[in-house]
């Protein structure tokens, strides 16, 4: 991810409904969520959701697929990973202890359900 792509991703996430959408899709996992259920989950109207999904999709943070008559949305995990990698790329400057808390938090989030965390 280059700086221009990172700026687009941050701009897309810099709006409360879009951030809620991404968080809901990450929580939903790779199976994703139908548009109507997603709108209900984040508490916004369907037409408003479509606008936000378009912005998130252009930023590479959301993907969609058609299943019958439904459109299923998922978090674009590769795009989200690239954004995290962009942020972390230069963080240590040869001092791994600087990034250790963030790395540990990512490891816990990836492998432990919230109720099983230490």
pLDDT tens track for 52-97 = 999 999 999 999 999 999 999 999 999 998 998 888 877 777 777 7
Q: Which two tokens stand for residue 111?
A: 């492998």
pLDDT at 48: 94
pLDDT at 105: 77
pLDDT tens track for 29-53 = 999 999 999 999 999 999 999 999 9
Q: Hey, where are the domains in the chain?
A: 1-113
3-state secondary structure 31-55: CCEEHHHHHHHHCCCHHHHHHHHHH
pLDDT at 112: 52
Q: Edge-to-edge, what's the strand order for the sheet holding 62-67? A: 33-34, 70-75, 62-67
Q: Which CATH class is domain 1-113?
A: mainly alpha
The confidence band for 116, taking pLDDT boundaries of 50, 70 and 90, is very low
């Amino acid at each position: 991810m280059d700086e221009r792509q990172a700026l687009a991703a941050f701009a897309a996430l810099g709006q409360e409904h879009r951030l809620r959408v991404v968080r809901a899709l990450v929580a939903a996992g790779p199976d994703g969520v139908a548009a109507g259920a997603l709108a209900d989950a984040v508490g916004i109207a369907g037409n408003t959701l479509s606008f936000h999904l378009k912005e998130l999709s252009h930023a590479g943070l959301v993907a969609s697929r058609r299943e019958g008559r439904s459109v299923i949305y998922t978090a674009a995990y590769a795009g989200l990973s690239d954004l995290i990698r962009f942020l972390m790329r230069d963080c240590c400057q040869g001092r791994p202890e600087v990034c250790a808390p963030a790395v540990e938090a990512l490891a816990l989030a990836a492998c432990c359900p919230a109720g099983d965390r230490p």
